[in-house]
Amino acid sequence: MNEKSTEEWESYEEVVDKFIQVIAKNMNLYGITPSVGRLYGTLYFNDGPMTLDNMRDALEMSKTSMSTGVRALSEIKMVEPSFKKGVRKDLYQSEEDWYKSFTSLFGNRWRHHTETNIEEAEEAIQELKLIQEETTDEALVIKINNDIDKLRYAQNYYRWLMRFIQVVETGEIFKYIPKHDK
């Protein structure tokens, strides 16, 4: 390689590394650590699947960290196993459809929290009703009725949110907000 070509490759690597840092920083929005975000960015820009050893060398992190990161990214469908004839080690590649990754990640994270919130609101309602049945304090009865109304409103919101999550998970969202491919 001549000197100009070497400089061009170095400039290229700086630009890609800079964007990988942006990916890593933004992964925090999805509950993913920056190091796992860098792993995803590295896989995304690699021209083929990588082994844990390849990832370790590229990121200068331990193989255990790479394994943990790959597992975390696999769970949220951002990395998938890959196969290559003649290669005995496990290979991984990034899911390049960010829309698919987002809908999967969004659905998994939000569904769990939203279901929990619906259940917690119902438990609070039941506990407030028990207190209400026992009390003779009219002010407390009124307060409990108002709070139960607030909890029912919250439940209705969470049920709406569950429908929204379903629209995202099924891909129906793209009817309303089309993807911008390439």
Please write the tens of the pLDDT for every residue from 102-150.
Answer: 888 888 888 989 999 999 999 999 999 999 999 999 999 999 999 999 9
pLDDT per residue over 7-38, tens digit each? Answer: 999 999 999 999 999 999 988 877 789 999 99
Contact at 8 Å (CB) between 124 and 154? no
Q: Which CATH architecture has domain 3-95?
A: Orthogonal Bundle (1.10)
How far lies 93's CA from each of 63, 105, 124, 143, in Å? 16, 17, 45, 56
Task: Tell how many helices (H) and how many strands (E) occur in the chain.
Answer: 7, 2
Domain boundaries in the chain? 3-95, 99-176
Q: What is the CA 174 to chain-centroid distance, rounded? A: 18
Question: How does 20-37 read in b/e, with b if 16+ C-beta sit within 10 Å?
Answer: beebbeebeebebeeebb
pTM for this predicted structure: 0.74
Residue 173 scores a pLDDT above 90: yes
Whether 59 contacts 75, CB under 8 Å:
no
Q: What is the pLDDT of residue 96?
A: 85
Say whether 105 sits in a helix, a strand or coil.
Answer: helix
pLDDT tens-digit readout, 59-88: 998 888 889 999 989 988 889 999 888 878
- Nearest of 110, 109, 99 to residue 178 by alpha carbon: 99
Residue 182 banded pLDDT, cuts 50, 70, 90: low
